[in-house]
Amino acid sequence: MPELPEVETMRRGILPILGCRITSAERPACTRRPILLQPRIDAFDRRVRDRVVVNVGRRGKRVTIHLDDSQTIVIEPRMTGLVLLAEPPTTDHLRLRLNLSAGSTKSSRPNESTGAGESTGSTDLGGPIDQLLFWDRRGLGTVRLLHPAEMASMVDAKLGADALCITAEQLRENLGSSRRAIKVALLDQAAVAGIGNLYAAEILFLAGIDPRTRCDKLSRVQWQRIQECTLNVLEDAIEHEGSTLSDGTYRNALNTEGSYQNHHRVYDRADVPCGRCGKANIRRIVQAQRSTFFCPICQRKSGLHETVTIR
C-alpha cells in the first residue's frame, strides 16, 4: 500500500501543478527519521529552482514529475507516503515541500483527468496552487531527482509494463515459465508494474484462479483472464480513488479518503462468507510472508469451476 490505483489517484490529483514554476524546494523541520532524498536538499533545491512542470506521470507505484530541462522528480510513496496539494494529515510527518508559482487552481474532481496537459476546472479549495507536499508517516518513501540516463537505469530498467497496459501475451511471456505461485508472481514489479498485495488477491478472486497455482500450470485462457481482471479491478479501484484501509493512512491529493475498501471482495475478509458463492468463508493463507485472501470454492484449484462473469 499504496498500489497502482492509489498512486494513479495521487497523480491525477496533482495535475493542477502542470505549468507551475518551482520557486524552491525545502525540507520542513521534522524530528522523525529522514526519508531518502536524492540529492540532498541543498542540491535538490538548486536543481529544481525555476524549472517548470511539463508533465505529471506514473511508473508503477511511483509518481513522476517531469521538468522542462528533462529532469524528473520520482516520488515513491512505499508504505505510508502521500503526495498532496492540500494541508497534510499532520505537520509532524511532512517531508518535502515544493513551493510553486503561476499555477492553475485546485481541482475538486481529481479523478476525472487522465493525461498531461488537461485543464482541471473547478476550484472547491480555491486559490492558485502554491505548493506540492510529500508527507510520510513511517518515512519509508523516497524522493529522487533524476537525469534521463538515471531515470532509464534506476527506474525504467527495473519495471515491467504497466499493469493497466500489459497484454495477456506479455504477462504469459514474462511469467509463464515461472514455478512461483501466481499470487506471488503478480507482485514482481519487473514482470508487471503496479500490482501489490491487496489488488493481487482481488484480481485472482475475480479471475476465479487459486492464488497458489504455479505460473507454469496456467493456460493461455487463464492468462487472458488474469489480464482482463487486472484491468477490471484496477480501473474500478481508480474510479473509487483507491482503498483507504482501517489505519486511515491513504488519502488522495486533497487529503480525503478513497472508497474502494467498501468494494473489496476478499482482501482482509478472512472468515467472512464469500459474497459470490455464499457457501464458503474467505480464507487467509500466507505466501512469501504476505497474507493472501481467497475463496476456496470460487477459486478451486482444479480449474473446473464455472466462469466468473466480469462486471
**Active-site positions?**
2-3, 61, 290
Nearest CB to Zn ion, comparing residues 116 and 297: 297
Which grid cell is 212?
497458489
Among 166, 193, 201, 298, the residue binding Zn ion under the rule CB under 5 A is 298
Nearest CB to Zn ion, comparing residues 128 and 275: 275
- Give the contacts of 226 (CB within 8 A, at least 6 positions apart): 168, 171, 182, 186, 203, 204, 207, 209, 218
Cβ–Cβ < 8 Å for 219, 302: no
Cα separations in angstroms, 119 against 19, 113, 245, 284: 11, 8, 31, 44
DSSP 157-204: GG--EETTT--HHHHHHHHTT--SBHHHHTT-TTTEES--HHHHHHHH
Among 41, 159, 297, 308, the residue binding Zn ion under the rule CB under 5 A is 297
Candidate ranges 93-101, 142-150, 201-209, 291-299; the one touching Zn ion (CB under 5 A): 291-299
Q: By CB under 5 A, is residue 276 in contact with Zn ion?
A: yes
- Give the contacts of 16 (CB within 8 A, at least 6 positions apart): 85, 103, 104, 105, 106, 107, 120, 129
Candidate ranges 47-55, 182-190, 245-253, 266-274; the one touching Zn ion (CB under 5 A): 266-274
Q: By CB under 5 A, is residue 201 in contact with Zn ion?
A: no
Candidate ranges 43-51, 59-67, 218-226, 294-302; the one touching Zn ion (CB under 5 A): 294-302
Q: By CB under 5 A, is residue 269 in contact with Zn ion?
A: no
Q: In whole angstroms, how close is the CB of 281 to Zn ion at the nearest point? A: 9
Q: By CB under 5 A, is residue 274 in contact with Zn ion?
A: yes
Q: In whole angstroms, how close is the CB of 234 to Zn ion at the nearest point? A: 21
Q: By CB under 5 A, is residue 206 in contact with Zn ion?
A: no
Dihedral of CA 117/118/121/126: which sign?
Answer: negative
Q: In whole angstroms, how close is the CB of 232 to Zn ion at the nearest point? A: 17
Q: By CB under 5 A, is residue 140 in contact with Zn ion?
A: no
Q: By CB under 5 A, is residue 61 in contact with Zn ion?
A: no
Question: Which H or E run contains 150?
Answer: helix 148-154
Q: By CB under 5 A, is residue 308 in contact with Zn ion?
A: no
Among 41, 52, 277, 285, the residue binding Zn ion under the rule CB under 5 A is 277
Question: Which H or E run contains 224?
Answer: helix 220-239
Nearest CB to Zn ion, comparing residues 176 and 275: 275
Burial of 180 (0-12, 13-18, 19+ CB in 10 A): middle
Q: Could you list the residues that contact Zn ion (CB under 5 A)?
A: 274, 276-277, 295, 297-298
